[in-house]
Copies of this chain bind each other. A is one copy, B any other.
Amino acid sequence: MEFDSHLPIYMQIMHVIKNRIVSGQLRGGDKLPSVRDLAKEFKVNPNTIQRCYQELERENLVFTQRGLGTFVTEDLEAIKTLKTKMAHELTQNFIEQMKKLGFAPQEIIKIISDRINRRHDDE
């Protein structure tokens, strides 16, 4: 068993930014908020954001230009790949959890379909 699964904050923020990129809120070439601004928005230490941007750059999802700021990669293929990968992880995880609850694969599809095809999306 693994308790205390507590992801480091910089990784949590990376995830948020990846979400924004993948969903198109941030597009290829867009400027990311400055380290200081994002630190304020998330109420964390600027170092945390700094680390976050560094790691995103290492994954080639953003690039920095000295004196100008940090920008979303213009490699749209990379973004698409990321989107696929993130979707895959979510899906994998979801299916695994549902199986743990004792649902068979076909049941899972049915539950999802039913949930999505309801006329009014509650919430």
Contact = CB atoms under 8 A, between A and B. Distances in A.
A78 to B, nearest CB: 15
Contacts of A24: 102
Interface residues of A, number: 42
A68 interface: no
A12 to B, nearest CB: 5
A90 B113 CA distance: 14
B9 A100 contact: no
Interface of A: 1, 3-6, 9, 12-13, 16, 19, 22-24, 41-44, 83, 86-88, 90-92, 94-95, 97-98, 100-103, 105-106, 108-109, 111-113, 115-116, 123
